[in-house]
């Protein structure tokens, strides 16, 4: 399938989503056209019946025509079913395609994107905005086509009934167009404001639910409620303005349609008085004016759907046109048979605000060796480790693995070669089995059990109500901190990467649990190149090298005993934790 160009004209991009579902689209439009033809036929048949069939006593033909008309309306009913069912199905499929595209794209975006975008706002764009686009995808072309055809067809037939009266009705249309153009812009602005406030509400809800335990622990439920009320009030105000604009818009449309009927009766009565029109023509004309005004309502609905859908589609394009700061080089190579030789060559890094985080960092770590990174909080330890898997790119210098600059290899192969265990383990709302399998999705059940045994959590899993099929709850709420850590260790055992990063993996655990986890980690690190970010220095005793990071620099680097003998920064940290 041809790859979409999200920087192309919005209409061309939108049309590209119809391409995989073109048969459903054409069927939907064909049925809409058939329903439109049935509506245009009825007033003309009525006029023919009143002027010819009944006065000339052509009763047999009259009932034949009525039977045909009834059949036409049965076909119209079938068409309406197809439009409602298959038309909406097409819209849902397009929505699913867009949701797949946006989620796939979001996964390519760097950590810096998520540093500046709240989860709830992104959720709103993936759900509410895409629903608006679905409504436009289904109802937009259908309403626009049937409205224009019905308006044109009705006006042509009105001209055959009474051209002067048709021209009088046509004179009202420019006022309607001007009114629509003005309020369409206002509706568009109101729709964008509503979508932004919906995103803020979703973000507030997501934050409130995720942090409910913290809120309860600090008895701050009222504060969280106030935060939500603030977002909710902004939403209500945006909606109030939106409905006000919408109310004025629909009131104007309704007035226009009512005015057309009044003009029809008044002008038609005048023409009857002058002998230029008869009662049958006036009845026919009145019926066609109803047919003529119905598309105006459809156009009003289309404008509302269009403005809402366009706002959603523009927000969709905004994300899709957000380019990843970190991309594979055109000639990037995949890593194979990774040994795990790591080198940082005069590495410097700063975030977008320009504040330096690391400056002129250099070290080499041979494969199979372990480096412990220690130092005060905020010194740049975690950032140093995140440069290896290219979660961020260095500002200056280079990070290499097996002699290859990480910017010259594919991110996918780089991430496969590195296993990461963090202090804050993310556990999916799924079973224990599937959470461990996340380390290697094609793993067998036997391999999952083997990984759990090596992580020393197998026995505890078997003691749970459903064993490996036990549901762990949202973010693993049913598990203890130690169990979540060992589950993450089992994931990495299953992944079996040659390089390992441990980001303060045990600092949040009690001493007994830490010792047990440390035994699993020591087993995991055997034969792998390991970088350990350590808060508790007791966990670095088996490290081959220790790097002390302070004030954006590595101030000391060497074996633990050598650094202790220097009686410098590392020795001060060591003695501060009373490890002598």
Residue range 59-79, pLDDT digits in tens:
888 888 888 888 888 888 888
**Average pLDDT estimate for 547-557:** 87
Q: How confident is the model at residue 171 (pLDDT cuts 50, 70, 90)?
A: confident
CATH pick for 10-320 out of 2.60.120.10, 3.40.190.10, 1.20.1050.10, 1.20.1560.10: 1.20.1560.10
**Average pLDDT estimate for 441-457:** 88
pLDDT at position 25 over 60: yes
Which CATH number is associated with domain 342-576? 3.40.50.300
Q: How confident is the model at residue 86 (pLDDT cuts 50, 70, 90)?
A: confident
Residue range 311-341, pLDDT digits in tens:
888 888 888 888 877 888 889 898 888 898 9
Alpha-carbon gap, residue 307 to 188, rounded angstroms: 5
Low-confidence winner among 17-21, 409-413, 519-523 (lowest mean pLDDT):
519-523
Distance from chain centroid for Cα 364: 41
Intrachain domains 10-320 and 342-576 with the same fold: no
Res 346: pLDDT: 93
pLDDT at position 81 over 80: yes
pLDDT at position 46 over 80: no
Res 1: pLDDT: 45
Sign of the CA dihedral 397, 401, 402, 406? negative
Q: How confident is the model at residue 234 (pLDDT cuts 50, 70, 90)?
A: confident
| CB neighbourhood size of 343 (10 A) | 17
Alpha-carbon gap, residue 495 to 441, rounded angstroms: 9
pTM listed for this prediction: 0.63
Highest-scoring range by mean pLDDT, 122-136, 267-281, 327-341, 522-536: 327-341
Alpha-carbon gap, residue 576 to 226, rounded angstroms: 43
CA distances from 6 to 13, 101, 122, 316, 354 (A): 6, 11, 18, 10, 30
CA atoms within 13 A of residue 92's CA, in its CB half-sphere: 6
Alpha-carbon gap, residue 117 to 123, rounded angstroms: 11
CA atoms within 13 A of residue 208's CA, in its CB half-sphere: 17
Res 449: pLDDT: 92
For residue 170, report the phi and psi dihedrals to the nearest 5 degrees. Answer: -60, -30
Domain borders along the chain are 10-320, 342-576
Alpha-carbon gap, residue 19 to 137, rounded angstroms: 12
343 forms beta bridges with: 364, 400
Higher pLDDT, 549 or 264: 549
pLDDT at position 409 over 50: yes
Low-confidence winner among 60-74, 356-370, 374-388, 506-520 (lowest mean pLDDT):
506-520
**Average pLDDT estimate for 93-119:** 80
Inter-residue contact 28 to 90 (CB < 8 Å): yes
Alpha-carbon gap, residue 44 to 284, rounded angstroms: 7
pLDDT at position 210 over 70: no
Output the six-digit token pair for 134: 């679905």
Low-confidence winner among 413-427, 437-451, 505-519 (lowest mean pLDDT):
505-519
Output the six-digit token pair for 320: 């899709």
pLDDT at position 510 over 80: no
pLDDT at position 512 over 70: no
419: three-class secondary structure by DSSP? strand
CA atoms within 13 A of residue 220's CA, in its CB half-sphere: 13
**Average pLDDT estimate for 256-261:** 74
What is the enclosing helix (H) or strand (E) of 348? strand 342-350
Higher pLDDT, 298 or 392: 392
For residue 60, report the phi and psi dihedrals to the nearest 5 degrees. Answer: -65, -45
What is the enclosing helix (H) or strand (E) of 316? helix 279-320
Res 243: pLDDT: 80
pLDDT at position 474 over 90: no
Considering the chain, what percentage of its residues have pLDDT values greater than 90? 8
pLDDT at position 33 over 70: yes
Higher pLDDT, 480 or 220: 480
**Average pLDDT estimate for 16-20:** 87
Closest by alpha carbon to 394, among 433, 434, 435, 359? 359
Alpha-carbon gap, residue 106 to 322, rounded angstroms: 9
**Average pLDDT estimate for 448-464:** 88
């Amino acid at each position: 399938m041809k790859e979409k160009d999200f920087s192309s004209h919005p209409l061309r991009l939108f049309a590209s989503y119809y391409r995989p579902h073109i048969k459903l689209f054409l069927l939907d439009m064909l049925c809409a056209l058939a329903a439109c033809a049935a509506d245009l036929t009825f007033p003309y048949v009525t006029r023919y019946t009143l002027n010819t069939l009944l006065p000339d006593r052509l009763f047999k033909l009259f009932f034949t025509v009525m039977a045909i008309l009834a059949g036409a309306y049965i076909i119209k009913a079938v068409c309406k079913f197809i439009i409602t069912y298959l038309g909406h199905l097409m819209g849902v499929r397009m929505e699913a395609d867009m949701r797949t595209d946006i989620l796939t794209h979001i996964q390519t975006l760097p950590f810096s994107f998520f540093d500046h975008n709240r989860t709830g706002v992104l959720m709103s764009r993936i759900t509410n905005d895409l629903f608006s686009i679905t409504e436009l995808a289904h109802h937009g072309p259908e309403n626009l086509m049937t409205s224009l055809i019905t308006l044109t067809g009705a006006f042509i037939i009105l001209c055959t009934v009474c051209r002067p009266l048709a021209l009088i009705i046509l004179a009202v249309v420019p006022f309607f167009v001007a009114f629509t153009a003005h309020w369409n812009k206002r509706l568009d602005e109101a729709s964008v404001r509503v979508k932004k406030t919906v995103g803020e509400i979703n973000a507030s809800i997501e934050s409130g639910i995720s942090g409910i335990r913290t809120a309860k622990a600090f008895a701050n439920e009222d504060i969280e409620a106030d935060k939500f009320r603030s977002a909710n009030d902004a939403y209500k105000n945006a909606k109030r303005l939106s409905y006000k604009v919408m109310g004025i818009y629909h009131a104007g449309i309704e007035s226009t349609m009512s005015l057309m009927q009044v003009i029809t009766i008044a002008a038609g009565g005048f023409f009857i008085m002058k002998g230029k029109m008869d009662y049958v023509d006036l009845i026919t004309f009145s019926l066609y004016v109803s047919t003529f005004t119905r598309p105006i309502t459809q156009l009003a609905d289309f404008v509302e759907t269009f403005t809402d859908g366009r706002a959603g589609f523009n927000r969709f394009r905004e994300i899709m046109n957000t380019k990843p700061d970190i991309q594979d080089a055109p000639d990037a190579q995949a890593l194979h048979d990774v040994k795990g030789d790591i080198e940082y060559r005069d590495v410097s890094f700063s975030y977008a605000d320009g504040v330096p985080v690391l400056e002129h960092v250099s070290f080499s770590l041979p494969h199979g060796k372990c480096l412990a990174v220690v130092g005060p909080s905020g010194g740049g330890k975690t950032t140093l480790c995140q440069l290896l898997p290219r979660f961020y790119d260095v500002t200056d210098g280079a990070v290499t693995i097996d002699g290859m600059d990480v910017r010259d290899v594919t991110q996918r192969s780089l991430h496969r070669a590195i296993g990461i265990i963090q202090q804050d383990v993310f556990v999916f709302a799924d079973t224990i089995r599937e959470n461990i399998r996340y380390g290697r999705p094609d793993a067998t059940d036997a391999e999952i059990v083997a990984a759990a045994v090596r992580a020393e959590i197998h026995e505890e899993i078997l003691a749970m109500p459903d064993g490996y099929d036990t549901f762990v709850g949202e973010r693993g709420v049913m598990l203890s901190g130690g169990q979540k850590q060992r589950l993450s260790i089992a994931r990495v055992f299953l992944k079996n990467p040659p390089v390992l990063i441990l980001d303060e993996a045990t600092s949040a655990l009690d001493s007994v649990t830490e010792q047990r986890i440390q035994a699993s980690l020591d087993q995991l690190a055997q034969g792998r190149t390991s970088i350990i970010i350590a808060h508790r220095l007791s966990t670095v005793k088996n490290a081959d090298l220790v790097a002390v990071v302070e004030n954006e620099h590595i101030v000391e680097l060497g074996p633990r005993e050598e650094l202790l003998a220097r009686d410098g920064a590392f020795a001060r940290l060591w003695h501060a934790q009373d490890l002598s």
